[in-house]
Amino acid sequence: MEPVNVENRNKYALITGATSGIGFELAKCFAKDSYNLILVARNEDRLNEVTNELKKNFSVEVTPIAKNLFAPGSAEEIYEETRKMGITVDVLVNDAGQGEWGPFIDTSLERDLDIIHLNIIGLLSLTKLFLRDMVRRNEGKILQVGSEAGTTPMPLLSVYAATKAFVLSFSAALAEELRDTNITITALLPGATDTDFFHKAGQEDTVTYRESELASPEVVAKDGYEALMKGERKIISGNKTKLHVWMNDLLGSKMSASNARKLNEPSHNTAGEKLPQHEASLNEREYISQQSGERDGDLITGRKYKDRPDPDSNEPVLTKENLPDATNESSGKVGSGQRQDSN
């Protein structure tokens, strides 16, 4: 058992996306520092496993709330549950987030809208609800988990990157609005990290996942936690990620987008990463695969997104040579014509 920090033993941190990856490691950081935990995730079985593990290893109270943040009204339900329990949330951690890999014209509209709801609407709603209480007390901290992807346009991961650009802009604006209070907003920018994100997004066969050195969720969480406790407005985790963000600023959006696309294209390296090495993330991937029967993707009860292309097929990712017209005049369907070069 970790030693008890008496200053925090009556404080509560609410963490979304807490069953794997960075969210799970952030939960451990708070527990080590004697914060009581409220863990939010969709899968009740996995959530209970993580709850019991943290209770066993740390002398803190751990309260699970099984909610699907893709669903409208879920943020309000989480807030009301904490009120009914008489819990004051001292720290809010918005970690839950997903992406979807592929050309924008090929991804499911339903999936894109779900990602926007999770990454933007859910985060904004929880921030609004709990921040109002923090302002009334003039006390509190919020950690918004953004991404390096939010600093550049990202072809083949376009919706996800755009949602993370929102998170960074939104967090910076709030931090300035609250500058004369005792409330701090911290944005955490990880680079590509060893979590189940890539498999949920169908991105596990790309250059980034197969050929890049992935950051450790433990290190990313530690960076974010320390910055949050210091009241810093933004923390970029890792020297490689800092270099990428600096280069994005230097090169501008067109060249940065071109570089990002290369990293998001399929890799021919068959010896690269196949599964998360991070234990909690691997456990989550195995659970989803067992339930869905699929090697990748997400598990969402009651719906099935458009099937993803077979990664072993010969169909290429869109390039300058095979880009379709935006609209075929005869059919009116997006992407149904042949590309015509123009000067």
- Give residue 140's region: left, alpha or beta (phi > 0; psi -120 to 50): left
Count of helices and strands (H, E) across the chain:
12, 7
Quote the DSSP letter at residue 121: I
Which among 268, 280, 123 is positioned nearest to 194, based on CA atoms?
280
Which among 67, 161, 163, 88 is positioned nearest to 124, based on CA atoms?
163
Amino acid symbol at 21: G
CB 130 within 8 A of CB 76: no
Catalytic residue status for 209? no
Using alpha carbons only, give the angle 316, 317, 321 rounded to the nearest 5 degrees: 80
Which among 88, 200, 89, 190 is positioned nearest to 149, based on CA atoms?
190
φ, ψ (nearest 5 deg) of residue 236: -100, 120
Residue matched to tokens 């659970």: 287
- Give residue 155's region: left, alpha or beta (phi > 0; psi -120 to 50): beta
Residue 240 burial (10 A CB sphere; 0-12, 13-18, 19+): middle
The residue from 12, 160, 225, 287 that is catalytic is 160
Q: CA-CA distance, 31 to 54, in Å (whole number)?
A: 8
CB count in 10 Å sphere of residue 287: 18
Annotated catalytic residues are 160
